[in-house]
């Protein structure tokens, strides 16, 4: 069986080059009380966070993405200070339980991003807004010299469901990501990871169109992150719930891995690791 060619990349993590030679599994750590999938909510209970981190590492996570602000529609707005406090707690526990693991901070606030990198040692900034919700984000990432996950979204988490009018969703998303990547390059940001933003300002049908043409994002010549874990595009299509969406998640992660995605952002690390191992054994495209 053949798959789309897997393109390896090196990214600079804290001054060392890290090779992405197979799909990396990025485990989700939500230090929030209100994320859309109830099974991912740790709050700021240190014992719960510690168990979650240990579980992800034991199951084979390559990276941990920590978020302190829920992007679920209708979730409570919190101050930058509260968001940073949550993230600091989680990052401290990650450093204790999994020293050396690559950490990504899920925030759209430049100052929160800066403090997480400078004060807590975070390695990557993951911005759901692609710089749109904080005009200082691109300059901040450039000054921090850290990899940046550039995601596509329109509007805010509260308004994004009303902003799904595209001429061609795949082409429009690529155009937006390319324009922003150019701005980042001009500022000196060398390590850009792109994310089409599944579930953000797209209808269910548009999400599947993006998945159908996922190879077009590989052709952009950046590492590609795919984050579809337990999302609306799965459970609305099947008439179920986020709690019942693991099987659908695994199917889509398999498609993403076969297409050449570089990072799978997931709630269920064990299932994603098994997916990557099986794709590796079946295709021979990379080793696990």
Q: Looking at the predicted structure, is the pLDDT value of residue 35 above 60?
A: no
Asked whether residue 1 is domain-assigned, the answer is no
Return the pLDDT at 38: 53
CA 72, CA 35: separation in Å to the nearest integer? 6
The answer to whether residue 44 sits within a structural domain is: yes
Q: Which of 75-84, 197-206, 273-282 has the lowest mean pLDDT?
A: 75-84
**What is the model's pLDDT at position 32?**
81
Determine how many CB atoms are found less than 10 A away from the CB of residue 234: 25
Q: What is the mean pLDDT of the chain?
A: 93
> What residue numbers bound the domain in which 98 lies?
9-283
Reduced to 3 states (helix: H, G, I; strand: E, B; else coil), residue 276 is helix
Write out the two tokens for 114: 């800066």
What predicted TM-score, i.e. pTM, was given to this entire model? 0.94
Residues 231 and 245: beta-carbon distance below 8 Å: yes
pLDDT higher than threshold 70 for residue 126 = yes
Mean pLDDT along residues 28-34:
84
CATH number for position 26: 3.20.20.20
Using the predicted structure, report yes or no on whether residue 148 has a pLDDT greater than 60: yes
Task: Give residues with Cβ within 8 angstroms of 13, minimum separation 6.
Answer: 102, 123, 124, 147
Cα–Cα dist 254/268, whole Å = 14
pLDDT digits (tens, 9 = 90+) for 266-283: 999 999 999 999 999 999
- The pLDDT score that the predictor gives to residue 4 is 64
Question: Per the domain annotation, does 251 fall within a domain?
Answer: yes
State both tokens at 175. 């155009």
Q: What residues does 192 pair with on adjacent strands?
A: 148
Site of tokens 């401290």: 92
Element (H, E) at 184: helix 169-186
In a domain, 4, yes or no: no
- For residue 157, pLDDT over 90 is answered with no
Give the sign of the dihedral formed by CA 21, CA 261, CA 90, CA 138. Answer: positive
Catalytic residues: 231, 265
CA atoms within 13 Å, Cβ hemisphere of 69: 23
Give domain status of residue 288, yes or no.
no
Residue-level pLDDT at 43: 65
Least Cα distance to 92 among 58, 53, 60, 63 occurs for: 53
Q: Supply the pLDDT for residue 75.
A: 57
Residue 2 lies in a domain: no
What residue has token string 């978020």? 67
What domain count does the chain have? Answer: 1
What is the side-by-side order of every strand in the sheet holding 148-151? 192-195, 148-151, 124-127, 102-106, 63-67, 24-30, 263-266, 225-226
- Predicted confidence at residue 141, as pLDDT, reads 98
- Give domain status of residue 42, yes or no: yes
The Cα–Cα gap between 160 and 80 comes to 21
The pLDDT, as a whole number, for residue 274 is: 98
Cα dihedral 287/122/9/233 (nearest 10): 80
| Average pLDDT for 95-110 | 96
Q: List the beta bridge partners of residue 127.
A: 150
Instruction: Determine the Cα–Cα distance for residues 248 and 228; give it in Å rounded to an integer.
Output: 9
Residue 50 inside a domain? The answer is: yes
């Amino acid at each position: 069986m053949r798959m789309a060619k897997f393109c390896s990349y090196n990214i600079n993590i804290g001054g060392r080059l890290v090779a992405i030679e197979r799909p990396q599994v990025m485990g989700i750590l939500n230090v929030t009380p209100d994320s859309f999938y109830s099974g991912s909510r740790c709050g700021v209970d240190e014992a719960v966070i510690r168990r979650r981190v240990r579980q992800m590492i034991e199951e084979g996570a390559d990276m941990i993405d920590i978020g302190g602000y829920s992007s679920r529609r209708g979730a409570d707005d919190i101050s930058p200070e509260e968001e940073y406090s949550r993230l600091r707690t989680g990052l401290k526990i990650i450093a204790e339980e999994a020293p050396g693991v690559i950490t990504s901070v899920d925030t759209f606030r430049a100052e929160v991003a800066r403090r997480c990198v400078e004060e807590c040692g975070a390695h990557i900034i993951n911005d759901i807004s692609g710089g749109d919700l904080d005009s200082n984000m691109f300059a901040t990432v450039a000054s921090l010299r850290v990899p940046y996950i550039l995601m596509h979204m329109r509007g805010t988490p509260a308004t994004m469901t009303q902003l799904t009018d595209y001429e061609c969703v795949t082409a429009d998303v690529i155009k937006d990501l390319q324009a922003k990547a150019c701005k980042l390059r001009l500022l000196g940001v060398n390590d850009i990871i792109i994310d089409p933003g599944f579930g953000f300002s797209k209808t269910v049908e548009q999400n599947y169109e993006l998945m159908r043409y996922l190879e077009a994002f590989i052709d952009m010549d950046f590492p590609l992150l795919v984050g579809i874990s337990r999302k609306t595009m799965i459970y609305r299509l099947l008439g179920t719930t986020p709690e019942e969406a693991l099987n659908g998640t695994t199917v889509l992660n398999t498609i993403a891995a076969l297409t050449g995605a570089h990072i799978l952002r997931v709630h269920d690390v064990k299932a994603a690791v098994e997916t990557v191992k099986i794709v590796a054994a079946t295709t021979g495209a990379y080793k696990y």
